[in-house]
Amino acid sequence: MSGPVSRNRRLGLAAVVAAVALLPALESDFQRGLDSDAVIIALLVLSVVVLTGFVGQISFCQYSFAAMGAFTVGALMDGHGWSFWLALPVGVTVAVLAGVLVGIPALRLSGLLLAVLTVAVALFTDRFLLVTGTWDGFSGGAVPWHPSRPSLLGAPLTGSYAYYLFALAILCVAVLLVWNLRRGRAGRVLRAVRDSELAAATVGLDVTAWKLAAFGLSAGIAGLAGALLAVRIGSVSPGSYDFLHSVQLTALATVMGVSAIAAAPAAGIATVFGPELLSGIAVSSTWFPLLIGTALILQLVLVPEGAVVRTRHDMARLARLVSGRRGRDPAIAEAAR
Amino acid sequence: MSHAVIASLSGFSLLPSYTVIGLTLGGVYALAATGLVLIYRVSGVLNFAHGAVAMFSTFVAYQISVVAGVPSPIGLLAAVATGAALGFVIEFLTIRPLAGRPPLTKVAVTIAWLLVLQTAAGLIWGSTGYHRPVQLVGSNGFTVPFTNVVVGYDQLTIFLVAVGLSLGTSALLRWTSLGAQMRAVADDPQAARLWGIDVDRVSAASWMIGSAMAAVAGVLITPLLNFDTYSLTVLVIDAFTAALIGRLTNLPLTVVGAILLGLVQYYPKAFFNQAGLSELSTFVLALITLAVVFRPGLAASRGRG
């Protein structure tokens, strides 16, 4: 997205955010819990967008980064009595460090082998590090951590609506951050790295450093999501952060289209309300990953650019048909880029 | 690591029998890894769904032999057929149309298959719980002369079948016409096409043979671990690690790597009582391999453009 954002677009976005913030006021507590989950999934997908969409690196350990945030916050709050506001930055920092550590082999490995390494990291985290008896001071051992909800400026976030607004605000900040990053110099560099590492290195860019930065940022966002999830559920257990969750997340982000930031909210809505819809039409919600997998296969073979980008493309074409306008629409130009 | 880790010197007395188990496990990894390398070399796709294919085929054998009580060799044959069929379907429907797309796109497709097979198996057979193994040979055994090490006939069979099939694949590549075609396609698909080789057919054959090998590996490993859908799907990381030791190309070295992995996974258990040690060993071995074997710019980024 190059060039200034039009005034209309900005107003439209503000209206959407306001609607998304206000609508859950009418919903039940259970429904608002799902809304918060959608926001957290959106953050996780955003972390995939940073890594896969910006630098073209595929990762199967995003939930391991989320676990770093979640378990650090759980251990510090429940185990050591820290405040959430102190534990949160520590958790995010731990996740960032984990991300940079995983990214370091990028110094010498191709993207494919690095992807294999992320599988190893995910299984190491899920089947060794978080197993009872390995490091109970971190994993909580047999009894999971129970971090409680914090208060913000004196207002407790224990209510479902308050917590939803809090998570949504964090998501908006993260999206703005990533969006600005993408529009600025960093975004151009990262795209150059994604499109051709060799060419990027030839024009003097430090490819490795930028890849490491992308790993750190991505892991940080995932860690933030993990911390939010820990406090939202009020309990941190290893099963919620395993390899299959990461696989499902990556698949979902790819279905939506990792090159678009809009994939994040779209994926959030899909993961949380998809299973709900399925249970509504008498198909068990355990079928959901099957649908994501099938959708991913169909999408890669038939719609390579991803659902969000394709939809934007189609909408632009429709708008053009309706208005009878000719020429390239900015949305198409972006999709084609 | 905390108090749960109990180091004891008496662990040394366990080493001989752990060697037997480690070798058996390593043999199975060799088989799985050989299938993985075959697919990667010929079609240029790193198959992340390799473990999932093994898992699904194994559960077909489980359904036939354990649930329905049909003799286990028939179950094994059914697993082989399922594996080959899955390999064909994956290649024909989802890899072939992606010709010319980046390697990571193909990786994403295999990940999608992982998700589909894993979820489908969970829906059919339940994702947790104890499953009785598909026992091909009785678990009674013999004592190695002059020692007190007991080797089960099942362990011996597993090891011989697995290593035999792995080395058989090397022989197939080296001495048969299909093998020669596969090597030609692996070296340069375009040139192979010019020589009149049906690249699509050869690629499909590699997927079918490689996936059938994964299926056999899955069935053979059932007596060695408390298997469920997840534990078999993540077999892929063991296959990856062994294949990395063979630089993703060298089959004999891959077999050696797999056996090394089996031993490295089992020996620590003689000294430490801690869950997840196998995974730790795999992780460390994978890291060391990546650091030592792969230099910048080597074989790594191979994949049909």
- pLDDT tens digit sequence for B92-101: 999 999 888 8
Angle at B290 (CA atoms; ends B287, B293), nearest 5 degrees:
135
State the DSSP string of A56-72: ----S-HHHHHHHHHHH
More confident residue, A139 or B217: B217
Which residues of chain A lie closer than 8 angstroms to B275, CB-CB?
131-134
Any domain includes A312: no
pLDDT score, position B296? 55
Any domain includes A148: yes
Any domain includes A184: yes
Reported as a pLDDT band with limits 50, 70 and 90, residue B227 is: confident
Q: What is the DSSP letter of B136?
A: S
**B303 token code pair:** 């994949």
Which residues of chain B lie closer than 8 angstroms to A120, CB-CB?
237, 240-241, 282-283, 286-287
Domains annotated on chain B, with CATH: 30-136+149-301 (1.10.3470)
Which residues of chain A lie closer than 8 angstroms to B301, CB-CB?
110-112
Separation in Å, CA of A284 to nearest CA in chain B: 10
Which residues of chain A lie closer than 8 angstroms to B94, CB-CB?
297, 300-301
pLDDT score, position A2? 43
Any domain includes A74: yes
What are the tens digits of pLDDT across the range A50-92? Answer: 998 888 888 999 999 999 999 999 999 999 989 999 999 999 9
As a whole number of Å, the CA-based R_g of chain B is 19
Asked whether the beta carbons of B264 and B285 are under 8 A apart, the reply is yes
Name which of B120, B233, B301 is nearest A112 (Cβ-Cβ). B301
pLDDT score, position B298? 45
Rounded to whole angstroms, the Cα distance separating A137 from B222 reads 34
Name which of B275, B283, B294 is nearest A120 (Cβ-Cβ). B283
Domain count, chain A: 1
Which residues of chain B lie closer than 8 angstroms to A254, CB-CB?
108
| Cβ pair A300:B115 closer than 8 A | no
Separation in Å, CA of A259 to nearest CA in chain B: 13
What are the tens digits of pLDDT across the range A258-291? Answer: 888 888 888 888 877 777 777 766 566 678 888 8
User: What is the domain range of residue A112?
Assistant: 31-243
Any domain includes A298: no
What are the tens digits of pLDDT across the range B134-158? Answer: 888 877 788 887 777 888 888 898 8
| Cβ pair B276:A121 closer than 8 A | no
Rounded to whole angstroms, the Cα distance separating A111 from B281 reads 23
Any domain includes A269: no
Which residues of chain B lie closer than 8 angstroms to A292, CB-CB?
112, 115
Give the alpha-carbon dihedral of A172, A175, A177, A181, to 10 degrees: -160
pLDDT score, position A60? 94
Name which of B112, B119, B122 is nearest A297 (Cβ-Cβ). B112
Name which of A56, A293, A296 is nearest B104 (Cβ-Cβ). A56
Any domain includes A105: yes
| Cβ pair A286:B123 closer than 8 A | yes
| Cβ pair A123:B97 closer than 8 A | no
Chain A CB within 8 Å of residue B116 CB: yes
Any domain includes A128: yes
Rounded to whole angstroms, the Cα distance separating A161 from A156 reads 11
Mutate to test the interface with B, among A116, A196, A291 (most CBs of B within 10 A): A116
Q: What is the DSSP letter of A105?
A: G
